[in-house]
Amino acid sequence: QAFFCLLLCIPWGCSCPPSCQCTERAGAKAVLCSSRHLEEIPKDIPRDVVFLKLDANSITRIPSNAFRHLSHLEEINLSRNAIEKIDRAAFKGVAAGLRSLDLSSNRIRSIPKEALLALSAKLRLANNPWHCECALQEVLWEARLDPDSVQDITCHTAPREEYVGKPLLQVLDAGVNLCSVRQRTMDVAMFITMFGWFAMVIVYVVCYVRHNREDSCKHGDYLRPLPSTQAHAE
């Protein structure tokens, strides 16, 4: 019996997650963790896994180096979770070999461009409550998106109300540059800040001058009733 268990463990390194099913697809290792009520990415995934399905769970975050030890990964399916946060180094270590990454149907509003731009994988980002901003525009321009899902990347919120509810690609095709919108916003904020400091300096100078003038008047009023030196001599 011990020998039989050993034979079962050898192909998987005795590390198949207990909540998942480990199998093979076309001779490649696959770990299937779909619909297993997972709240985080399992830490005991076999190192030689090629296909990883984590869809339809309750995962809320992809932390840094979540897949770093899985150098053979080619496909990751994280669709239909509750992902809200993706760390900058979430996919560090798998960038070279990853061919497909599905992040559709989550709760992602924004994503660090550093997390995706290093990937050559085909990305699915549809059906998330995106906040259309410069970083998302850069991802759309530079990343390799699945053409079948690009139209479903919709602006849930945006810098301007007329962009809300529209596909991001449609907004960009209309000539909108979200990066320049952000730059203009920063310029306006800087101008307001500088104007506020300038106004504070002016108010301080005015108060200082007025205070000195009042002190001078008080000093003059104090000296005026005193007899002059000449009158005292007489």
DSSP labels, 109-136:
S---HHHHHT--SEEE--SS-EE--HHH
Same domain, 109 and 192: no
Residue 113 has pLDDT above 80, yes or no: yes
Q: What's the distance, CA 227 to chain centroid?
A: 78
**pLDDT grade for 210, boundaries at 50, 70 and 90:** confident
Pick from 59, 10, 61, 5: nearest CA to 37:
59
Does 219 fall in a domain?
no
Is 78 in contact with 59 (CB distance < 8 Å)? Answer: yes
Residue 229 has pLDDT above 60, yes or no: no
Does 54 fall in a domain?
yes
Q: Looking up tokens 């496909």, which residue turns up?
A: 75
Same domain, 133 and 187: no
Residue 190 has pLDDT above 90, yes or no: no
Sign for the CA dihedral angle at 160, 113, 97, 17 comes to negative
Q: Looking up tokens 């990751």, which residue turns up?
A: 76
Q: What whole-number distance in Å separates Cα of residue 147 and Cα of residue 126?
A: 11
Does 16 fall in a domain?
no
pLDDT at position 153 is: 96
Same domain, 127 and 40: yes
Residue 183 to residues 6, 153, 166, 175, Cα–Cα distance (Å)? 61, 23, 22, 16
Looking at 176, 193, 223, the residue that finishes a domain is 176
pLDDT at position 216 is: 65
The region of weakest confidence among 10-14, 155-159, 196-200, 213-217 is 10-14
- Total domains in the chain come to 2
Q: What whole-number distance in Å separates Cα of residue 225 and Cα of residue 219?
A: 11
Same domain, 142 and 190: no
Average pLDDT, integer, range 176-186: 66
The region of weakest confidence among 9-13, 98-102, 225-229 is 9-13
Residue 14 has pLDDT above 90, yes or no: no
Average pLDDT, integer, range 91-116: 93
Residue 10 has pLDDT above 50, yes or no: no
Pick from 85, 81, 94: nearest CA to 47:
94
Same domain, 182 and 148: no
Does 11 fall in a domain?
no
Same domain, 65 and 140: yes
Same domain, 124 and 105: yes
Same domain, 169 and 184: no
pLDDT digits (tens, 9 = 90+) for 133-144: 998 999 888 889
Q: Which structural domain, as residue segments, surrounds residue 83?
A: 21-176
Average pLDDT, integer, range 217-234: 55
Residue 11 has pLDDT above 80, yes or no: no
Same domain, 40 and 145: yes
Same domain, 37 and 101: yes
Question: Does residue 184 or residue 214 have the better pLDDT?
Answer: 214
Residue 117 has pLDDT above 50, yes or no: yes
Looking at 158, 176, 194, the residue that finishes a domain is 176
pTM of the shown model: 0.72
Is 107 in contact with 62 (CB distance < 8 Å)? Answer: no
Phi, psi (rounded to 5 degrees) for 206? -60, -45
CATH of residue 131's domain is 3.80.10.10
Q: What percent of the chain has pLDDT over 90?
A: 59
Same domain, 60 and 143: yes
Residue 185 has pLDDT above 60, yes or no: no
Does 66 fall in a domain?
yes
pLDDT at position 12 is: 43
Q: What whole-number distance in Å separates Cα of residue 91 and Cα of residue 57?
A: 19
Same domain, 152 and 193: no
Looking at 160, 176, 192, the residue that finishes a domain is 176
